[in-house]
Structure 1
Amino acid sequence: MTAHRAHPPVPEDLLVGLRRARDRIDRDYAQPLDLDDLAAVAGLSKYHFLRCFARTYGLTPHAYLTERRVERAQDLLRATNLTVTEICRLVGYESLGSFSSRFRQLVGSSPSQYQARWALTGAPRVPGCFVLMHGLSDRAIPE
């Protein structure tokens, strides 16, 4: 039986670039982000960036981006009267099916079920038109 070798920690001088890339994901999660762009932000080759990001944050950049998008979708589903389709687009998904599948994987229910469950609490909801008109969303719904 061979012992599993732990990966050495990421060198400290790379952490600033990794944080910069993570901050970019946090800020621009609704935009298309690819590995090449994020690696450039970190100042690393894409595969080295991928390995270092996963070692540092416990998730690949894509998994981290997916979590940010789903977290924002949860916020919008709880607090607005926007449709699931509108929210799907606002958080950066082009496909409602992909969005719903990822949401269910991470949250344990469909976006519609999640929204309906929160609607039953009777909490006030921000009208979607207000969210879109006043820039409270992160991205305008494509025409």
Structure 2
Amino acid sequence: MESRVKVDKSSMDAYRALLGVEKYLAQCSIEKSLRELIKLRVSQINGCAYCIDMHWKDARASGETEQRLYGLPAWRESPYYTERERAGLLLAEELTRIADRPVPDVVHERVREQFQDREIADLTWAIAAINAWNRVNIGLGTVPGDYQAPGAAH
């Protein structure tokens, strides 16, 4: 992972802590396919080229279709997302843009229709984590392009 900013050893402790959150999320109650869609959509909103590159590749390596990935910015108008995915993407967008406005009650209601309490907590952590990764990678100037998804043909 190439970065325009030289990272010293002490800041690697913070990196490892965020990896600990990722370790939890890898076994959480939210299915991997939805986590990848959320990671990609939030990264698109935040304009994080490194994370877009990474999560597009991870999603494809996990079997996600190109049609669903290409249509992700217009998920509201696209027929190939489930109601659960739509609720998760809606919450992801609202929490990512939280500085602009509060999350409307109707969003929480829609999320509750699709997710149990533990799932909502896990979903919220997944959204918070990718927002943090986006900010770290943008802030450090991490260069996109060289990432290879685990298990993908090189």
- The answer to whether the superposition gives a TM-score over 0.5 is no
Q: Using CA pairs under 8 Å that are at least 6 residues apart, name the structure with larger relative contact order, 1 or 2.
A: 2
TM-score (normalised: structure 1)? 0.27
TM-score (normalised: structure 2)? 0.26
Give the structure with higher Rg (CA): 1
